């Protein structure tokens, strides 16, 4: 998702791109917390939108995929169905060999 981002931005300061990437990674870490307070979810949703928007500033529209857009819906999904680690199917897929 972010593979060519640093190489393709010659006219932009490299630190701006790195900051955008680290912001996205930091928000991703916050999304995977074991517990979330409902009162913190609107702020988290705003931080996710801000981080995704910063990445979109440096990445051409042809490079943006649906996975990056889906990050925008994760905070509301947490409010609806609980923490992401509860919803993940990786353990079941690993068990059944998919």
Give the span between the Cα atoms of 70 and 6, in whole angstroms.
22
- Upper half-sphere CA count for residue 4 (Cβ side, 13 Å): 6
Res. 67 pLDDT band, cuts 50 70 90: confident
Give the span between the Cα atoms of 59 and 18, in whole angstroms.
12
**Domain extent listing, the chain:** 14-96
User: How much is the average pLDDT of 78-89?
Assistant: 75
The model carries a pTM of 0.68
User: How much is the average pLDDT of 6-14?
Assistant: 55
* Short-list 42, 63, 50, 64, CA closest to 22: 50
């Amino acid at each position: 998702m972010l593979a060519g981002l640093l190489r393709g931005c010659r006219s932009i300061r490299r630190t701006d791109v790195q900051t955008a990437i680290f912001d996205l990674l930091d928000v991703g870490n916050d999304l995977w917390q074991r517990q979330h307070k409902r009162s913190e979810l609107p702020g988290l949703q705003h931080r996710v939108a801000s981080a995704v928007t910063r990445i979109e500033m440096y990445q051409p529209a042809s490079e943006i995929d649906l996975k990056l857009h889906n990050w925008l819906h994760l905070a509301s999904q947490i409010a609806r169905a609980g923490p992401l680690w509860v919803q993940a199917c990786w353990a079941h897929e690993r068990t059944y060999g998919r």
